[in-house]
Chain A
């Protein structure tokens, strides 16, 4: 398996606070990799650095071999790497189908493509994806009127519509009704296996991430603490201490 994403010695500080210190990890293609750690350990900061939301202080981030640290958010997204947001961001005043239609890949966007109407296949695909996440019945509702959990599913569907190679998910099960978490995890797995999308997942729900991920990295106070397969991490004393001693 080739390495899709390589993070090498990345550090980021905000004012006096070091949010990320010398982070090095890699994500192999086709894998599901987990990123865990107590609140404030710097996970979302790392995500933001990867996708170009803010500059990094030092280090390098390479996606399919290309250096990302100087690129801007839309360029990185067009390379095939997307992220979902912790607070779930969707287009509130458009309906679900429209949200998906505008999430098609934007690699080719000449003037002609911009001004053209939507081909019917894209609408079909959008509806199929909505069916996949279970929102088909709500497809004509305004996205802003959906419940938080439904919006999360919509955001996931939008990401799938974009056909990314790598998807960064920021706490995908947070705020979801516990009885529906299994359904979401199952869909994540299917997206990985059937659609070949590599996943890097920040997760607080231990049961979810231990079941889903093949390899897990644990962060604490801005640094990488431990990494390994789920069984190993689960029993790692440092990880346990980090969570128990976090507050």
Chain B
């Protein structure tokens, strides 16, 4: 492949692709962190994860259209998506929390379709973006270009992740969440209102995805159908990193971003999404094969 050859001939290209990938990977890691949270605490795999990202993105887009800098979209998306997550929990999700996992997958899948099509009706199917307008950073004598907005987005993503981690570790609600994740029944006996914890967790997850989405709108594009791609990315990251492993999530997220960046270059941009989805299938199959060898299953 010519593109592959180019990577060897011009090593500086690798740096460019790597940097682009890592920066966007931080955002993937954020969405994955939220998914791991909901999975670990409530044992729900939230297929609607990507739709929350998408909606967060539209918040930023609408702000930009109104003349406000999309960076303000991050806190606004957090607030709005938190409310949405709470509302969806209280109406739908709470009914599927204690049932078998497939019911929860189907229910969140239904929510995902609902939100996706709603967005399609309200915003239209066009691809949108929220211009950050922040100029470019030049590295290595101008051989590597990085939009400042990308650097900023990555920083915000990492900061949000750290804030979440601190919240979980030190705040009362955060500790209640972690207690419930470890042993819901014990938490209930000790007086923790697990239903409130679940609602807060789910809403928090939506909020994080909203933040991620606002960042995506600034450095990439937003359209009503990008949800599923983000859901599957988050899933891959969580699978590779494992549920309790924050550092693993960050590393896997960055890794996925970088892998996608290179794949997009080597295989062509049209195949970038195909690469990610195929990667999911491959990782799952390999993982279950390896486990089977030692008589275990993906649990």
Judged by a CB distance under 8 angstroms, whether B171 is at the interface is no
Q: List A20-63 residues whose CB lies under 8 Å from chain B.
A: 52-55
In the complex, what distance in Å separates the CA atom of A53 from the CA atom of B296?
A: 8
Q: Which residue of A lies closest to B294 (CB)?
A: A55
Q: Does B295 lie at the interface of the complex (its beta carbon under 8 Å from any beta carbon of A)?
A: yes
Bound CA–CA A54/B299 (angstroms): 14
Complex CA–CA separation, A53 to B294 (angstroms): 10
Bound-state CA distance A55–B293 (Å) is 10
Complex-state Cα separation, A6 to B272, whole angstroms = 55
Q: Please, which residues of chain B bring their CB within 8 A of the CB of A73?
A: 295
A187 within 8 A of B: no
A residues in contact with B296, CB < 8 Å: 54
A72 at the interface (CB under 8 A from B): yes
B256-299 contacts to A (CB < 8 Å): 292, 294-296
A53–B295 CA distance with the chains assembled, in angstroms: 7
* A52 to B292 Cα, complex, angstroms: 12
B292: min CB distance to chain A, Å: 8
B289 to chain A, nearest CB (A): 13
- A54 CB contacts on chain B under 8 angstroms: 295-296
Q: B294: which A residues are within 8 A, CB to CB?
A: 55
The prevalent SS among residues of B at the interface is loop
Taken together as a complex, chains A and B put the C-alpha atoms of A59 and B295 apart, in Å, by: 17
CA distance A200 to B104 in the complex (A): 42
Measured between C-beta atoms, what is the minimum distance from B126 to chain A in Å?
Answer: 48
Task: Return the chain A residue nearest B295 by Cβ.
Answer: A55
Residues of A within 8 Å of B295, CB to CB, are 52-55, 72-73
CB distance from A52 to the nearest CB of B (A): 6
Near A by CB (< 8 A), chain B positions 68-82 give none
- For window 40-72 of chain B, which residues contact chain A by CB distance below 8 Å? none
Q: Note all chain B residues with C-beta closer than 8 A to A52.
A: 295
Residue among B292, B294, B295 with max Cβ neighbours from chain A (10 Å): B295
Q: Mark A173-189, 1 if CB is under 8 A from B, else 0.
A: 00000000000000000
Q: Nearest chain-B residue to A69 (Cβ)?
A: B295
CB proximity of B129 to chain A, nearest CB, Å:
50
* Shortest distance from the beta carbon of A15 to any chain B beta carbon, whole Å: 15
| Distance between Cα atoms of A54 and B292 in the complex (Å) | 10
Q: How distant is B294 from chain A, measured CB to nearest CB, in Å?
A: 5
- In Å, the complex CA distance between A54 and B293 comes to 11
Q: How does the 8 Å CB contact mask read for A143-163 relative to B, with 1 for contact and 0 for none?
A: 000000000000000000000
Measured between C-beta atoms, what is the minimum distance from A197 to chain B in Å?
26
**Separation in Å of the B278 CB from the closest CB of chain A?**
28
| Residues 166 to 188 of chain B near chain A (Cβ within 8 Å) | none
Once bound together, how far apart are the Cα atoms of A72 and B292, in whole Å?
9
A107 to chain B minimum Cβ distance, whole angstroms, is 21
Closest Cβ–Cβ distance, residue B231 to chain A (whole Å): 31
Q: In the complex, how many angstroms separate the beta carbon of A86 from the nearest chain B beta carbon?
A: 19
A73 closest partner in B (C-beta): B295
> Chain A nearest CB: distance from B244 CB in Å?
15
Q: Which residue of B lies closest to A56 (CB)?
A: B295
Min CB distance, B120 to chain A, in Å?
39
A33 to B243 CA separation, bound complex (whole angstroms): 43
Q: List residues 55-88 of chain A with CB under 8 A from any CB of chain B.
A: 55, 72-73
Q: Which residues of B contact A72 (CB under 8 A)?
A: 292, 295
Q: How far is the CA of A199 from the CA of B221 in the complex (A)?
A: 67
B296 to chain A, nearest CB (A): 8
Residue of A nearest to B296 (CB): A54
In the bound complex, how far is the Cα of B163 from the Cα of A174, in angstroms?
52
The CA-CA distance from A240 to B295 in the complex, in Å, is 37
What CA separation (Å) do A73 and B296 show in the bound complex?
11
In angstroms, Cα B296 to Cα A54, docked, is 7
Q: Which residues of A contact B292 (CB under 8 A)?
A: 72
- Give the shortest distance, in Å, between A93 (CB) and chain B (any CB): 14
B residues 192-221 with Cβ under 8 Å of A? none
**Measured between alpha carbons, how far is A52 from B297 in the docked complex, in Å?**
13
Chain B residue numbers with a CB within 8 Å of A55 are 294-295
Minimal beta-carbon separation of A140 from chain B (angstroms): 27
In the complex, A20 Cα to B226 Cα: how many Å?
Answer: 52
Closest residue of chain B to A48 (Cβ to Cβ) is B295
9 chain-A/chain-B pairs, Cβ below 8 angstroms: A52-B295, A53-B295, A54-B295, A54-B296, A55-B294, A55-B295, A72-B292, A72-B295, A73-B295
**Which residues from chain B sit less than 8 Å from chain A, CB to CB?**
292, 294-296
In the A-B complex, list the 6 residue pairs whose CB atoms are closest, starting with the nearest. A55-B294, A55-B295, A54-B295, A52-B295, A72-B295, A53-B295
Where the two chains meet, the residues of A that have a C-beta atom closer than 8 Å to any C-beta of B are 52-55, 72-73
Further contacts, 6 of them, CB under 8 A, given A54-B295, A55-B294, A55-B295: A52-B295, A53-B295, A54-B296, A72-B292, A72-B295, A73-B295
